[in-house]
Structure 1
Amino acid sequence: MDIESDEENVIEEDFYSFLNVSKEASREEINNAYRRLSRMYHPDKHVDPELKSKAEVLFNKTKKAYEVLSDPHRRAIYDSLGMKGLETEGWEIVQRTKTPAEIRAEYEQLAEERAERRKQQRTNPNGNITVAINATDLFNPYDDELFDDEFEPDLLQRFPNIEVSSMQFSQSVDFPLTQKDTCTLSGQLQTQNGTGGGGVNLSWRHIYSHKSWAEVELAAGSGPSVSFKGFRTLTKRFFWNGGAVLQFTPEGIRPGVMSTLAMQIDKHSVGYLTYQGGIRSIVSTSIVRDTEFNHYNLSIQVGLPHSYISLNYTRKMLSQELKLKLSVKAGTFGGVVEYGAEKKVSKHSNLSFAVTVGVPSGVKLKIRLTRANQVYNFPIHLCEEVMPSPIFYATVVPLIVYVVVKKGFVEPFLKEQKAKKVEKQKQNNFNKLLEKRKEAQAAQDLMTATYTRIKEAEENKKGLVIIKAIYGKISTDPNETGDHEISNEVIDVTIPIQCIVKDSKLTMHEHTKSQLPGFFDPAIGEDKMLHIIYNYREQPYEVTIKDNESLRLPKNSHRVNVT
């Protein structure tokens, strides 16, 4: 888990939450919310000098929220860009002669200029490291009968021989020249069984529009080469990419071509037809279907030296940030079945394991770690034959190792990182948090008269009465009751919740509750919840919701069964 920038850690105002209206609220709903808060916070409603001073602050905030959301121009900017859009230097957002679209276009022009300056400072490094390990001696050891009967191998010779059979390294960096021109420098090194080689590539890509780009690439390694690539959107459903390469060798110039035509079949499916010509001629077609929970890929290839058909399936477990994968491939080379899983282990890191069982390749275990733009691959060849024992160990051992590493190293590390993030957020917002706490207390002081009036009215008609409401870092232990201890991470919000009640009903929208009048964030950076105990028609009810969850009271599912 990575730490966000200081700018991202700063608390921002949420006018919709403050007024307790939805983002789709009409002008009338915004006016009603403004009038409701104005009745509590207007300075003329209070005689006491201290309360009048507090009311001025909250009334000004109410007025500011109303002015932004009731103005279509400013609201359009606020909805798209937040407070940073309203405060951007270099333009005037209150010009009434411009439409919201024109104002946003003007802002985006300034944002594009800033993005170009930032882009010129980035190199976007990408790397790939592959270390292939030959561990076949674990399951296919040399037979002891191969040794002379009079010769007894020493202890070291009894251990299986595990060796690195090959290594590959590649790295690339981008050199943005303009918003539409980028140069990329990349290099590769590889070694296998004591021999190796490498190469270096330099490419330049120009983006003509969102529909097309062109690229030229120079390469040096196993003979210099030059290639030309391009992409073009043909229609709404068709797009094409392809290219040509000229490789210069002692035997002469070797040309090659590649062309792919793709068609959008439906919202989730794309079909591809690819041709490669040159030293090897290949024709392949594939259909890819990608939905929220499933990914399918059916491919057929005909060519030299091999032809095959393959089917890949991925099941996405979004709630657990987990992907389960299964692949079947058969052709002139033999057959392969591969199964595995990929798990997101941190904000920018994914870890995957896969077991490959095939003929004649045998059994392999593939481990892949992706960290930001760096990829680390560790293919381990366990057995040259298909045997139960290597399949079993290749499946079970990674699971055990993953659990041990996760519990022993990853979770403590992430916990420490989260604690650092929370502490950094608290430091960045320390003064603002004190201000919010003071503002929330002032709001509750000003709500006292309204709270008493609404509560008495609801009690008299046996309506919706808030008995207790707390907000913050609340335990979800089912054995706990509503009698939570009020600590530094939990605040009492009974008064502001009762003040939202109107005609024995309460509605809260999908916004953080920390921005509501009378609230503040008591556990910044932590997951927060709202717990409410209330009576309706003199019957007890209880509910706990997440911070950004919507809520409507009363509701039959909240009713507490009293024995």
Structure 2
Amino acid sequence: MPSDNESDGELEENYYTFLNLPRDATADQINTSYRKQSRIYHPDKHLDAESKKKAEIMFNRTKRAYEVLSDPHQRAIYDSVGVKGLKTEGWEIVHRTRTPAEIREEYERLAQAAAERRLQQRTNPRGNITINVNATEIFAPYDDTEMPRVEIGSMSIAQSIEAPITRKDMIVMSGNLYSSNGTGSGGFVVAGRRLLNKGWLELCAGAGNGFLLGLKGGRTLTSKLTVNGGTNLNFREHAVIPALFSTLAVQLDKHTMGSLTLNAGPQSSMTTQIDHSNDQYSLSSSFVIGTPHIYFSLAYTRKMMENELKLKLAAKVGTFGFMGEYGVEKKVSKYSSVVATVSVGVPSGVILKFKIVRSNQSYVFPIHLSEEIVPAAVFYASITPVIAWFFIKKSIMEPMEAERKSIEVERTKKQNEQRLAAKKLEASAATHLMQRTFNRILNEEMLKHGLIITRATYGCLSESGNNFQAGLSYDVTIPIQCLVKDGTLQLYESSKCDLPGFYDPSIGDDKILRIEYTFNDQFKIVNLKDNEALRLPPAGNSGGSSPNN
């Protein structure tokens, strides 16, 4: 559905508002509104050359709005993606005619975005940074003369990039570093991957804890069955340590996937896993038999897409002990999300984990609060993410969002500067063409003591909220009176700046439509928010006070 201020900065026409129609307008309503405006703007209704020229502009707008809304196919496209969708040929969008400066600006923006996409596609960078924090002394007995210590227990960094060579060949480079208690280790692996018919093959070599040589591959056997496997040889100083691994995955139904994974090597294991996922939730279960532990795990995620929120529960039990985990994931932007989880178990104790995900990069901060299950540690681990989220949202995110919107508004104003000037002239022309209709409707309403608009003003209020700001408001008495039909004024839920005779005096700012009117010789004033609907006189009220008074 088209919005009044498009996110890409280019303002689009709202055909519904221009014809003063609701979004669910019927064919009869569309035809009636078209005929009404045609009587005002048809060039044949005006005699002098200047009025005819103005009328041609307004009549063409009226005709265009009618053609789109009266055609079910065009209306469906317009409701979905707006005016740009109507200008689409195949998959390419034909833009409006622009000035040279606008064309250069658009070209530079598209070129930069395309370069970023190409770089992302070429390298596909993936990374993970994990910093383990030991804060167990906070909830453990300690000497009153000393403050509890909070230490960085360990830190690991992993990064990988992909470099396509041909359409079927690519090189994958990955590396990792790990540091704990003053000692560290690391490794680097280079792999060459080739896509085959219904599969892939990869040869890798690396260095770290000895020289590493590996071969991996995968193949799609049927539409529901795939298999992956490989082997590694780790050449150490006094031995060669082999490892084998394979995974068989089966699509059990539309939403369920099952897999069996076998690992043979220094730590052998067999894992059976079933994953089920749909739009509302996902459920994953796995059973692992291996060395040194055997365990069963179950994880449930509830997806609350309307709030861009996910609630997570997990449990694991086995020969190592048990662990329960609960947490939440919140999407904060198109490419970013934050995750907070609390883990309670034996022998792990209580762990609070924060995770920040930005595109394919993730930053993980596990904070070990207690080596045992201490109620105080569980309580503070549960409320800390809530307090932290509230603080970050109020002190960082909301100011950043406000600044971003301010920058976007300024960019939109600059991008649409010429179009807004044209809209202002068009509004003046429309008001001029409405004069005869205004006089006719006003006389009809005066004779029956009906709805008479004594004054209507549209624009931005001052900081006190009592008066309109000079230069950011203007008189719309004539356009509003012309919308009165049989003693009734009906406005719908959309920005009033797209009504005939209106324009937007200040993009991005809150605007008010103030209407001073008489009905049955009773004087009333109503202040209407820009996107608020209105009916005058109020339904079931033949002269009583309006709820907006």
State the TM-score bracket (shorter-chain normalisation).
0.7 to 0.9
Corresponding residue number in structure 1 for 2:503: 520
SS of alignment partner, residue 386 of structure 1? coil
Q: Is the 8 A contact 1:469 1:494 kept in 2?
A: yes
CA, structure 1 residues 401+259, in 2 after alignment: closer, same or farther (shift >3 Å)? same
In the alignment, the residues of structure 2 paired with residue 76 and residue 289 of structure 1 have an alpha-carbon distance, to the nearest angstrom, of 28
Return the match for 1:337 from 294, 319, 324: 324
Query: What's the offset of the Cα at 1:136?
Result: 1.9
In the alignment, the residues of structure 1 paired with residue 194 and residue 114 of structure 2 have an alpha-carbon distance, to the nearest angstrom, of 16
Corresponding residue number in structure 2 for 1:415: 402
Query: What's the offset of the Cα at 1:26?
Result: 7.0
In the alignment, the residues of structure 2 paired with residue 392 and residue 430 of structure 1 have an alpha-carbon distance, to the nearest angstrom, of 55
Q: Is the 8 A contact 1:17 1:513 kept in 2?
A: yes
Residue identity over aligned pairs, in percent, reads 39
CA, structure 1 residues 339+9, in 2 after alignment: closer, same or farther (shift >3 Å)? same
In the alignment, the residues of structure 2 paired with residue 81 and residue 182 of structure 1 have an alpha-carbon distance, to the nearest angstrom, of 38
Q: Is the 8 A contact 2:295 2:316 kept in 1?
A: no
SS of alignment partner, residue 356 of structure 1? strand
State yes or no: 1:362 paired with 2:345: no
> Deviations for 1:63-121, whole angstroms, at most 9, x for unmatched residues?
44455666788778766765556667xxxxxxxxxxxxxx636879xxxxx99998545
Q: Is the 8 A contact 1:120 1:175 kept in 2?
A: no
> Deviations for 1:342-398, whole angstroms, at most 9, x for unmatched residues?
444455443332222211101111112223443211111111111123223323444
Return the match for 2:296 from 275, 285, 308: 308
Corresponding residue number in structure 2 for 1:288: 277
- Residue identity in the other structure for 1:168: S
Corresponding residue number in structure 2 for 1:394: 381
In the alignment, the residues of structure 1 paired with residue 548 and residue 246 of structure 2 have an alpha-carbon distance, to the nearest angstrom, of 77
CA, structure 1 residues 69+557, in 2 after alignment: closer, same or farther (shift >3 Å)? closer
Corresponding residue number in structure 2 for 1:187: 174
Corresponding residue number in structure 2 for 1:225: 214
In the alignment, the residues of structure 2 paired with residue 199 and residue 48 of structure 1 have an alpha-carbon distance, to the nearest angstrom, of 81
State yes or no: 1:432 paired with 2:415: no
Query: What's the offset of the Cα at 1:275?
Result: 0.9
In the alignment, the residues of structure 1 paired with residue 26 and residue 169 of structure 2 have an alpha-carbon distance, to the nearest angstrom, of 46
Q: Is the 8 A contact 1:120 1:177 kept in 2?
A: no
> Deviations for 1:154-203, whole angstroms, at most 9, x for unmatched residues?
x8xx343433222222334455678x768473423131422322333546
In the alignment, the residues of structure 2 paired with residue 456 and residue 129 of structure 1 have an alpha-carbon distance, to the nearest angstrom, of 75
Unaligned segments of structure 2, at least 5 residues: 1-5, 95-110
In the alignment, the residues of structure 2 paired with residue 296 and residue 317 of structure 1 have an alpha-carbon distance, to the nearest angstrom, of 13
CA, structure 1 residues 351+446, in 2 after alignment: closer, same or farther (shift >3 Å)? same
State yes or no: 1:259 paired with 2:248: yes
Q: Is the 8 A contact 2:343 2:350 kept in 1?
A: yes
> Deviations for 1:194-246, whole angstroms, at most 9, x for unmatched residues?
232233354658699xxxx7444444446232322456893xxxx55542222
Q: Tell me the C-alpha RMSD between the 2 structures.
A: 4.5
CA, structure 1 residues 393+117, in 2 after alignment: closer, same or farther (shift >3 Å)? closer
Query: What's the offset of the Cα at 1:404?
Result: 3.6
> Deviations for 1:476-523, whole angstroms, at most 9, x for unmatched residues?
x9x97xx66355555554543443444556665665543332222233
Q: Is the 8 A contact 1:308 1:332 kept in 2?
A: no
- Residue identity in the other structure for 2:246: V
In the alignment, the residues of structure 2 paired with residue 562 and residue 413 of structure 1 have an alpha-carbon distance, to the nearest angstrom, of 34
State yes or no: 1:45 paired with 2:45: yes
Unaligned segments of structure 1, at least 5 residues: 1-5, 89-102, 109-113, 145-154
Return the match for 2:90 from 104, 112, 117: 104
User: What pairs with 1:113-262 in structure 2 (closer than 5 Å)?
Assistant: 120=118, 122-123=120-121, 124-140=124-140, 158-175=146-163, 183=170, 185-193=172-180, 194-200=183-189, 202=191, 204=193, 214-221=199-206, 223-229=212-218, 234=223, 239-250=224-235, 251=240, 253-262=242-251
Corresponding residue number in structure 1 for 2:263: 278
In the alignment, the residues of structure 1 paired with residue 454 and residue 440 of structure 2 have an alpha-carbon distance, to the nearest angstrom, of 15
Corresponding residue number in structure 2 for 1:62: 62
Q: Is the 8 A contact 1:42 1:55 kept in 2?
A: yes
TM-score, normalised to structure 2, is: 0.74
State yes or no: 1:299 paired with 2:285: yes
SS of alignment partner, residue 60 of structure 2? helix
User: What pairs with 1:398-547 in structure 2 (closer than 5 Å)?
Assistant: 398-458=385-445, 485=468, 488-489=471-472, 492-503=475-486, 512-526=495-509, 544=528, 547=531
- Residue identity in the other structure for 2:259: T
In the alignment, the residues of structure 2 paired with residue 345 and residue 339 of structure 1 have an alpha-carbon distance, to the nearest angstrom, of 20
- Residue identity in the other structure for 1:524: I
CA, structure 1 residues 388+252, in 2 after alignment: closer, same or farther (shift >3 Å)? closer
Query: What's the offset of the Cα at 1:339?
Result: 3.0
SS of alignment partner, residue 244 of structure 1? strand
CA, structure 1 residues 206+31, in 2 after alignment: closer, same or farther (shift >3 Å)? farther
Corresponding residue number in structure 1 for 2:546: 560
